[in-house]
Structure 1
Amino acid sequence: MPDEAPGFPDDLLDAYARYLTGERGRSGNTLRAYLADVRQLERFAAQRGARDWGGVDLPLLREWLAEHASTGKTRATMARHAASSRTLFAWLLREGQITQDPTLRLKSPKKTSALPTVLRSAQMEKLLDGLQAPAQDGDPLALRNLALVETLYATGIRVGELVGLDVDDLDLERRTLRVLGKGDKERTVPFGVPAARALETWLRRGRPALVTGTSGPAVFLGARGGRIDQRQVRSLVSERFKALGDTAATGPHALRHTAATHLLDGGAELRAVQELLGHSTPATTQLYTHVSVERLRNSYRQAHPRA
């Protein structure tokens, strides 16, 4: 960031960051996104003559959001911009940095209710079969890739939770793993026999071939021995989806959607799936029941003679 603008000191944002993590329990990803939004707003406000946060009013905020909208930002991103500004100004008011909150009448676009892309069971089998063949030759990266995708599909964990796994977080005997989710909430997630086998083989035969002095306790490693990062996982999963050729799914989050939907299709209770995914409310998990119902409707329309 360029030199700080008058009235917008960095130490104030440092205190705001501590508030987001300490009191609001925001995850690292949310913290980075909110702070990036605030710094964008800070520059925008300074360019339009605001000398401090007290000089930011409702018209300026609307202009800031309109500029974002003109660049083609999604409704979800626009909603986050509005949410991050509301959180900031509520905190500034509480801290006595401003005398009134300009976001009280700020409206944000509603998020679209588009259903997530989910792979069919046959597509998932095809994807995993495509990872099995190279893994059988014992290549360390192939063993890792199979274990990684099996784990994502078996557990429905987030990609950030996956890359943060340490060896001590796995209990192969009980077939469970421990993850630290949003808001630093810890939960235990079960997984099935295929994932357990893939993980055991990776830890026994694949990981030792890549491990270095800087690997630490990370379960999944990159080609150079360091903890694998989210970008590498996204690239790997996206490549496998492209190889299928018949899905619009992109990125590891589609495996989370797929795991949740297949569980509900198989008769799992909504509450159990909520706990598995680490959702704070049932409303978020409810989305996957809509996916299941829509799939049922499509099958009905295709198969019933009087649909």
Structure 2
Amino acid sequence: MAYLREARALATATIVNYVPFVRGFLEDCFGKGRVTLSRLCAGDVVRFVQRQAPRLQPKRAKLLTAALRSFLRYARYRGDITLDLAAAVPVVANWSMPSIPRGIAPDQTRQLLASIDQRSATGRRDYAILLLLARLGLRSGEVASLELDDIDWSAGRLSVRGKSGQRNELPLPADVGKAIATYLIRGRPRSTCSRVFLRARAPITGFSGASGVGSVDALQRRESRP
């Protein structure tokens, strides 16, 4: 709490509101067992937010994500974790229309991924893209701008460019890394383009922006519906 009050200059009321969210996150990850922060991964962070945020009002959901980011930055500052897991906390939008779904449920995510035909090059690409969106909570633009040199295979890390151009390092889960590697070896067209994910049709180059990745997501969701 001293860190939040002195280093982050947060009001006491804000700190008090943060504590239950952080406690809930740790209980979700470790239960009643020993808390070992070094075992945390991006998937733990994303899954917790995806489960909790839809149950909360938008302002409370934003408070949840702010609390997690502050806690994870502090844990990294102390050396309890080495990667920037704060960057893995998904952004919770301030929806103005309550009828719009706040997210896709875990069961729907699994159904969506299972519906993709990975026998084709395009299917292997789309599977890797959607797995990145689902497991790491990346934005469409961050996936679109991902380059080959952004992946550190030996360290199992991913360097992601944020909106402001700032780079954040995230752990690369084994299943996500396998999906990307499969696409690179058995699906990605030969190209001098440095982007990881390329268009399936000419011109063979990277997506022009977030809308390209967004269209992949929307198309796969439509095709997965019964």
* Superposition TM-score, scaled by structure 2 size: 0.51
Alignment-mate amino acid for residue 179 of structure 1: V
The reply to whether residue 219 of structure 1 matches residue 196 of structure 2 is: yes
Matched residue, 1:120: 105
| CA pair 200-111 structure 1, distance change in 2 beyond 3 A | closer
| CA pair 141-113 structure 1, distance change in 2 beyond 3 A | closer
Where relative contact order (Cα < 8 A, 6+ residues apart) is larger, the structure is: 2
Question: What is the 5 A alignment of 1:13-24?
Answer: none
Query: Distance between the aligned counterparts of 1:232 and 1:167, measured in 2?
Result: 18
Consecutive unaligned residues of structure 2, counting only runs of 5 or more, are 1-93
- 206, 212, 231: which one aligns with 2:211: 231
Matched residue, 1:183: 164
Alignment-mate amino acid for residue 219 of structure 1: V
Query: Distance between the aligned counterparts of 2:95 and 2:130, measured in 1?
Result: 29
**Per-residue CA shift, 1:224-255, capped at 9, x if unaligned?**
32012333322221122223448xxxxxxxxx
RMSD: 2.3
Consecutive unaligned residues of structure 1, counting only runs of 5 or more, are 1-109, 247-307
| CA pair 153-146 structure 1, distance change in 2 beyond 3 A | same
Question: What is the 5 A alignment of 1:81-230?
Answer: 112=96, 114=98, 117-131=102-116, 134-135=117-118, 137=119, 139-207=120-188, 210-212=189-191, 215-223=192-200, 224=202, 225-229=204-208, 230=210
| CA pair 243-205 structure 1, distance change in 2 beyond 3 A | closer
Contact 1:172 1:200 in 2 (8 A): no
Q: Which has the larger radius of gyration?
A: 1
Indicate the percent of aligned positions where both proteins have the same amino acid.
25
Give the structure with the higher percent helix: 1
Alignment-mate amino acid for residue 241 of structure 1: R
Matched residue, 1:83: none
Query: Distance between the aligned counterparts of 2:223 and 2:102, measured in 1?
Result: 16
Contact 1:123 1:244 in 2 (8 A): no
Contact 1:143 1:198 in 2 (8 A): yes
| Runs ≥4 residues deviating over 6 A | none
Q: Secondary structure at the match of 2:115?
A: helix
Query: Distance between the aligned counterparts of 1:153 and 1:173, measured in 2?
Result: 23
Aligned residues: 129
Query: Distance between the aligned counterparts of 2:101 and 2:175, measured in 1?
Result: 25
Query: Distance between the aligned counterparts of 1:159 and 1:174, measured in 2?
Result: 24
